[in-house]
Chains A and B, each alone.
Chain A
Amino acid sequence: MSAEKKEYWRWEESCWIDPDRNWRDARIVTAGIDVGSVSSQAVIVCDGELYGFNSMRTGNNSPDSATNALKGVLDKSGMKQADIHFVVGTGYGRVNVPFANKAITEIACHARGANYMGGNTVRTILDMGGQDCKAIHCDEKGKVTNFLMNDKCAAGTGRGMEVISDLMQIPIAELGMRSFDVDEEPAAVSSVCVVFAKSEALGLLKAGWTKNKVIAAYCQAMAERVVSLLERIGVEKEFFITGGIAKNPGVVKRIERLLKIEAVKTKYDSQIAGALGAGLFGYTLVMKQGAAAKQAA
Chain B
Amino acid sequence: MIANYGYKDGSGEYYIAIDTDKCIDCAAGRACLTACPKGMFEIITDDYDDEVAAIKQANRRTVAYDCTDCKPAGGHASLPCTSACTPGAIKHSW
Interface size class of A (residues with CB under 8 A): 20 to 34
A112 to chain B: closest residue by CB? B47
Q: Are B2 and A152 in contact (CB under 8 A)?
A: no
Interface positions of B from 12 to 63, Cβ below 8 Å from A? 13, 15, 47-48, 61
- Measured CB to CB, the closest approach of chain A to B62, in angstroms, equals 9
In the complex, identify which listed stretch (A73-81, A141-149, A168-176) lies at the interface while the others stay far away: A141-149
Q: Is A266 an interface residue (CB 8 A)?
A: no
**Which residues in B have their C-beta under 8 angstroms from that of A147?**
1-4
Q: Are A232 and B15 in contact (CB under 8 A)?
A: yes
**Which residues in B have their C-beta under 8 angstroms from that of A143?**
1, 48
Sort A-B residue pairs by CB-CB distance and give the 10 closest, nearest first. Answer: A108-B47, A152-B7, A146-B2, A148-B4, A152-B61, A104-B47, A150-B7, A144-B1, A105-B47, A145-B1
Chain B residues within 8 Å of A, Cβ to Cβ: 1-4, 7-10, 13, 15, 47-48, 61, 93
Q: Are A232 and B13 in contact (CB under 8 A)?
A: yes
**Which residues in B have their C-beta under 8 angstroms from that of A205?**
none
- The CB with the most chain B CB atoms within 10 A, among A145, A148, A233, is that of A148
Bound complex: CA A151 to CA B2 (Å)? 18
Q: Is A228 an interface residue (CB 8 A)?
A: yes
**Which residues in A have their C-beta under 8 angstroms from that of B8?**
150, 152, 228-229, 232
**Which residues in B have their C-beta under 8 angstroms from that of A105?**
47
Bound complex: CA A137 to CA B2 (Å)? 9
Interface positions of A from 145 to 165, Cβ below 8 Å from B? 145-153
Contact A152-B47, Cβ < 8 Å, known A146-B2, A147-B2, A232-B15: no
Bound complex: CA A16 to CA B13 (Å)? 40
**Which residues in B have their C-beta under 8 angstroms from that of A145?**
1-2
Q: Are A233 and B9 in contact (CB under 8 A)?
A: no
- Measured CB to CB, the closest approach of chain A to B47, in angstroms, equals 4
- Measured CB to CB, the closest approach of chain A to B1, in angstroms, equals 5
- Measured CB to CB, the closest approach of chain B to A138, in angstroms, equals 10
Bound complex: CA A143 to CA B20 (Å)? 13
B10 to chain A: closest residue by CB? A193
- Measured CB to CB, the closest approach of chain A to B65, in angstroms, equals 12
A144 to chain B: closest residue by CB? B1
Known: A146-B1, A152-B8, A229-B8. 11 other contacts (CB 8 A): A105-B47, A108-B47, A144-B1, A144-B47, A146-B4, A147-B4, A148-B15, A150-B8, A193-B10, A228-B8, A232-B4
